[in-house]
Amino acid sequence: MTHWDIRPVTAADLDAVYAIFAACISPCWKKETFAARLDHPCAVVLAAWEGERPVGFADGECAFGLCELNNIAVLPNCRRRGAGNALLLALGRAAKQRDCVAIQLEVRQSNQAALAFYRENGFVQVGRRKNYYTAPTEDALLLDKHLQEEEKDDETAGD
């Protein structure tokens, strides 16, 4: 498995990381909106680096004891090599440092690859938002991961 260098996204990284966003997520935010996340006090924006290039990113918002995962994406040619897992683990650590007890997210009910990925990473379905998405209209599944579970996994890692 590849070792990923996970670190906060800086203004110098913006173009390369935004290119991942635009390539992987549709519709994607405006670049200015994404850039503003880097300075937002509640935001945790991390990138996974392979050598000198970012291959994925995660964008979370920590407030009121919860971390909302807004976006996570990994370049198609780098998927299934652990970058997404490493990003979620790093986001969980950053969220715990900000006194969050869980990570939550929404995902299209038809996005089976994402659902499998989240379930493999300890997320469970806790609800549904009817007709949340458009183009096409579709329900969002609400998923949560309690960060205490991650602490237990971290303690036994490497055994």
Taking only the tens place, the pLDDT of each residue in 128-147 is: 999 999 889 999 999 999 99
pLDDT value of position 2: 66
Q: At residue 158, does pLDDT exceed 60?
A: no
Percent of the chain with pLDDT over 90: 75
pLDDT, tens only, 19-74: 998 888 876 788 888 889 999 999 999 999 998 999 999 999 999 999 999 999 99
Query: Alpha-carbon distance 67 to 85, whole Å?
Result: 16
> Where are the domains positioned within the chain?
5-156
Superfamily for the 5-156 domain:
Gcn5-related N-acetyltransferase (GNAT) (3.40.630.30)
Residue range 91-125, pLDDT digits in tens: 999 999 999 999 999 999 999 999 999 999 999 99
pLDDT bin (cut points 50, 70, 90) of residue 3 is confident
